Amino acid sequence: MEEKIISVAIDGPAAAGKSTVAKKVAQILGFTYIDTGAMYRAVTHAVIAKGLDPKSEEQSVTLLPGMIIDLKEDGRVLCNGEDVTKVIREPLVSGNVSYIAAMKPIRLALVDMQRAMAEKKSVVMDGRDIGTYVLPNAQVKIYQIASVETRAVRRYEENLEKGINTTLKDVENDVRNRDYIDSNRAFAPLKPAPDSVLIDTSFMSVDQAVEAVLKVVHDKTGIQIPCH
Ligand code: DC
């Protein structure tokens, strides 16, 4: 019997813990984790590294032809063969990625890649528009939120661990700014899909959030969740 391909879409605002939860859920289910934010970040880094203006669509789209973004199973992100895993988390990229993500030609190119990945295998894909635009037929759609304050503290602590130098105030400003731009852009803005399940992780541990997502996966698809 052919195995059924399942897509789990996890959307929500910046730093809501989507990637941490999505990674663990993917690991437990044996699905591939796809971090679509990393793809927008990789384009942003490429634009800045070339000395182009990330607020200029005319300049930024010139890098699209032939650009290859490779999300490795081990979590590394390669852009045209260069390992950009760490640099795409730097404040310079975080502060500019929402401008790049608002450009329709860039979104269309990355969405094509994302859909191609989800066609071949079962995925847990996190982003902003996965349930609403990229995979509207995903069997499982989660909208994961947390308060701005909680998100800022979590991202700040994550940055410290990764050796990225920021202040809590700067992280909170960045999170608010990105929420605003991501929610108000014209094309595929951040919003919950009508058939998504809301999970507020403000007062949840990572494990509790993972269990909440797995329960929705079971309820919506009927698959047995492996022991973990
Ligand atoms: O999830 P993240 O913070 O790494 O995402 C970086 C930026 O990319 C975020 O500010 C919005 C954008 N993004 C998007 O517009 N659509 C997606 N599917 C994923 C990310």
Helix runs in 11-55, H state only: 18-29, 36-49
Mean predicted confidence (pLDDT) in 133-151: 96
Mean predicted confidence (pLDDT) in 175-195: 93
Q: Kindly tell me the burial class for residue 198, based on how many C-beta atoms sit within 10 Å of its own C-beta (0-12, 13-18, 19 or more).
A: exposed
Nearest CA to ligand 1 atom 18: 127
Query: Rounded to whole angstroms, how far apart are CA atoms 226 and 21?
Result: 16
pLDDT tens track for 84-111: 999 999 989 998 999 999 999 999 999 9
Mean predicted confidence (pLDDT) in 101-125: 96
Nearest CA to ligand 1 atom 2: 37
Instruction: Give the pLDDT score at 158.
Output: 87
What spacing in Å lies between the alpha carbon of 2 and ligand 1's midpoint?
33
Is pLDDT above 80 for 1?
Answer: no
Give the percent of the chain with pLDDT over 90: 89
Residue with tokens 């058939």: 195
Is pLDDT above 70 for 2?
Answer: no
Nearest CA to ligand 1 atom 11: 98
Mean predicted confidence (pLDDT) in 23-38: 97
Q: Which two tokens stand for residue 33?
A: 């984790």
Ligand 1 pocket, residues with Cβ under 6 angstroms = 14, 36-37, 40-41, 97-98, 101, 127-130, 178, 182
pLDDT tens track for 195-226: 999 999 999 999 999 999 999 999 999 999 99
Nearest CA to ligand 1 atom 13: 37
Q: Using 50, 70 and 90 to split pLDDT, how confident is the model at 27?
A: very high
**Which atom of ligand 1 is nearest to 190's Cα?**
15
Q: Give me the DSSP letters along 58-125.
A: HHHGGG-TT--EEE-TTS-EEETTEE-TTGGGSHHHHTTHHHHHT-HHHHHHHHHHHHHHHHHS-EEE
Instruction: Give the pLDDT score at 165.
Output: 87
Nearest CA to ligand 1 atom 16: 128
